[in-house]
């Protein structure tokens, strides 16, 4: 921490309870009261440095009751309070004081309040504090400390433009460092593994190069996480104005949220707990665990809710820069704190836009309502999935199966890659199959809701149906009374037979067409493939597939 020493005389101030006395040969002739603290001082040193004290002393009128007594002044509204006035008084007496990042802002505001300009003495306190403040703002750590102390002297620090100067200095340093680190390490190394914890701690399997790159870019996260939310918000906005990368801004916000909302660090899923442990059996009206309803921290729910909504509003809107794991953590917290519907909808839309990056464990959002049927919030996941499908509109639905890609390679054709629009939906299909298998044992999960969720993912997204049929098998075993229905078995059997036959015919006809086109694309050359009788039977085709329509 940088420091600046002022004054040359030894300390002559003595504290007696709530009273400061200046011990000189002369008796005190003025008392300055600041809050509960009293300062017994002398007029001349104060008059020679402070325009405000000069005016107050000259205007002072003794009490009309004739009690007399020395001049008494009230300075209850001085920025920084008694501590700041003590330093200013020592400066007036030329007593040694030390300026640092923790007191310079308060002292600068107090000097302005007291009118300690160079009009009264050369090198007065305002000029000295300004000179040192420039040194403070040249240092990152000291700038953070100075900005923190601004909270205690608002609005004086705003009026003197100290707050924006601190924010500008910090934003400039962070942006310059981020740009330099990005150009040095490059986008490839700076891309940290998706499993890295969003609170700034890398996972054990994070590549060493990526971890080093991330460290070069996120070194400032912890420092700014100590700021109050209003100051942090202004700092982030200043960084955005200076075109800092959205990834770095999102990382800082996620780190800050981990400190401000400690509930984000707690697991809210029940993946390792049986349904019976939480009353998930038939007839249960609430499946919320006791720990989920515990207070997130010492602050009130209203404050937590305000913090949450402000953090969500700060997050960059660019897809992928904020981890899906973190967004789902925010969503669970929003539900626990009963955040506004608009806030929760915002989160669900963001999650839906990048659902392919979610993990099954994070998607198991507990049902935190007071009158709920299911352990997990199925409706929430349904909405998220709907938002995902909406985001896929217009991106195309063509799909190249792995079997076709393999066949094309054997025919000497260019590699048939999966279109970018299909890759995310294929990942989501696998994710939802796993999700359905997890929620299937809940005996309170109604068949229509299970069907509706399973039907959202389109047919082409699944290359094989093992996952969805595993979920169906678990569901039927957990709901044995469904198989006892007189209507269900016949309806299911008829649909299975009908769609099995329909898909088999469509698939075989499609592969005949693809084979003919592949042969034509070889410029008339006759390519022979062992066992090729005209139709290509792909992996996961309808020959061995089963229907997903009930």
Which of the residue ranges 84-88, 201-205, 307-311 would you say has the lowest mean pLDDT?
Answer: 201-205
Tokens standing for 241?
């104005």
Pairing of β 13-16 and β 19-22: antiparallel
pLDDT band for position 295 (cuts 50, 70, 90) = very low
Q: Give the distance between the most distant pair of CA atoms in the chain.
A: 123
Q: 10 Å Cβ neighbour count for 274?
A: 9
Q: What is the residue-averaged pLDDT of the chain?
A: 78
Query: Do 261 and 307 meet the contact criterion of CB atoms below 8 Å apart?
Result: yes
Query: Do 92 and 7 meet the contact criterion of CB atoms below 8 Å apart?
Result: no
Cβ-Cβ contacts under 8 Å for 187 (sequence gap 6 or more): none
Q: 10 Å Cβ neighbour count for 475?
A: 21
Name the nearest CA neighbour of 108 among 173, 142, 40, 159. Answer: 159
Tokens standing for 357?
């990056």
Which of the residue ranges 125-129, 219-223, 290-294 would you say has the lowest mean pLDDT?
Answer: 290-294
Which of the residue ranges 163-167, 315-319, 334-338, 544-548 would you say has the lowest mean pLDDT?
Answer: 544-548
Mean local confidence (pLDDT), 26-49? 95
Query: Do 373 and 398 meet the contact criterion of CB atoms below 8 Å apart?
Result: no
Q: Return the domain boundaries, the chain.
A: 3-160
* Residue ranges in 360-410 assigned as alpha helix (H): 360-363, 378-391, 402-410
pLDDT band for position 541 (cuts 50, 70, 90) = very low
Name the nearest CA neighbour of 362 among 339, 385, 318, 330. Answer: 330
Cβ-Cβ contacts under 8 Å for 459 (sequence gap 6 or more): 548
CA distance 234 to 238: 6
> Phi, psi at residue 204, to the nearest 5°?
-65, -25
* Residue ranges in 191-291 assigned as alpha helix (H): 208-218, 221-224, 229-241, 246-260
Tens of pLDDT, residues 384-398: 999 999 988 755 444
3-state secondary structure of 478: helix
CA distance 236 to 183: 21
**Which DSSP state fits 417?**
P
CA distance 148 to 502: 69
Tens of pLDDT, residues 373-383: 788 999 999 99
Which single residue is written with the structure tokens 């906005």? 237
Which single residue is written with the structure tokens 């949220």? 257
CA distance 410 to 529: 8
State residue 11's pLDDT score. Answer: 94
State residue 7's pLDDT score. Answer: 94
CATH code of 3-160, in short, is: 3.30.710.10
Q: Select the more confidently predicted residue: 493 or 114.
A: 114
- Side by side, which strands form the sheet with 71-74? 13-16, 19-22, 37-41, 30-34, 71-74
* Residue ranges in 32-161 assigned as alpha helix (H): 43-47, 51-59, 81-92, 104-114, 125-137, 140-150, 156-159
Q: What is the CA radius of gyration of the chain?
A: 35
Name the nearest CA neighbour of 320 among 251, 382, 417, 233. Answer: 251
CA distance 498 to 493: 9
């Amino acid at each position: 921490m940088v420091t600046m020493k002022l004054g040359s005389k030894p300390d002559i101030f003595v504290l007696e309870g709530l009273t400061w006395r200046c011990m000189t040969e002369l008796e005190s002739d003025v008392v300055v009261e600041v809050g509960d603290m009293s300062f017994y001082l002398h007029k001349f040193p104060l008059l020679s440095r402070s325009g405000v004290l000069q005016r107050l002393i000259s205007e002072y009128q003794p009490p009309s009751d004739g009690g007399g007594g020395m001049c008494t002044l009230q300075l209850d509204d001085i920025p920084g309070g008694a501590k700041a006035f003590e330093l200013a008084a020592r400066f007036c007496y030329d007593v040694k004081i030390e300026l640092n990042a923790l007191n310079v802002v308060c002292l600068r505001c107090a000097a302005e309040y007291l009118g300690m300009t160079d009009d009264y003495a050369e090198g007065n306190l305002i000029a000295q504090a300004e000179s040192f403040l420039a040194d403070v703002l040249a240092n990152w750590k000291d700038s953070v400390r100075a900005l923190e102390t601004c909270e205690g002297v608002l609005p004086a620090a705003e009026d003197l433009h100290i707050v924006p100067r601190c924010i500008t200095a910090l934003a400039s340093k962070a942006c310059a460092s981020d740009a330099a680190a990005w150009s040095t390490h490059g986008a490839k190394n700076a891309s940290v593994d998706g499993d890295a914890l969003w609170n700034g701690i890398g996972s054990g399997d994070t590549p060493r190069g990526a971890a080093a790159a991330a460290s070069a870019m996120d070194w400032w996260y912890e420092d700014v996480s100590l700021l109050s939310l209003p100051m942090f918000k202004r700092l982030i906005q200043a960084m955005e104005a200076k075109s800092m990368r959205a990834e770095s801004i999102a990382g800082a916000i996620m780190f800050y949220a981990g400190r401000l909302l400690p509930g984000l660090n707690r697991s809210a899923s029940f993946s390792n707990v049986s349904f019976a442990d939480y009353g998930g059996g038939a007839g249960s009206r609430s499946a919320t665990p006791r720990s989920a309803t515990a207070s997130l921290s010492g602050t009130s729910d209203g404050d937590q809710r305000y913090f949450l909504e402000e953090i969500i509003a700060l997050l960059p809107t660019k897809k992928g820069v904020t981890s899906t794991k973190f967004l789902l953590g925010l969503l669970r917290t929003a539900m626990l704190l009963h955040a506004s519907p608009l806030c929760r909808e915002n989160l669900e839309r963001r999650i839906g836009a990048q659902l392919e990056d979610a993990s099954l464990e994070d998607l198991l959002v507990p049902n935190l309502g007071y009158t709920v049927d299911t352990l997990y919030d199925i409706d929430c996941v349904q909405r998220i999935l709907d938002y995902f499908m909406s985001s896929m509109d217009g991106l195309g639905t063509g799909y190249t199966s792995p079997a076709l890609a393999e066949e094309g390679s054997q025919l000497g054709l260019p590699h048939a890659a999966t279109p970018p629009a299909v890759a995310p939906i294929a990942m989501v299909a696998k994710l939802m199959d796993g999700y359905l298998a997890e929620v299937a044992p809940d005996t309170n999960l109604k068949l229509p809701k299970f069907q509706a969720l399973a039907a959202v993912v389109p047919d082409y997204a699944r290359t094989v149906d093992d996952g969805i049929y595993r979920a169906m098998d678990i569901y039927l075993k957990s709901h044995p009374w469904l198989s006892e229905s007189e209507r269900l078995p016949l309806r299911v059997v008829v649909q299975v037979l009908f769609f099995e036959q329909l898909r088999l015919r469509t698939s075989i006809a499609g592969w005949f067409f693809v084979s003919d086109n592949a042969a034509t694309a070889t410029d008339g050359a006759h390519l022979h493939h062992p066992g090729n009788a005209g139709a290509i039977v792909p992996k996961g085709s309808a020959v061995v597939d089963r229907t997903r329509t009930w």
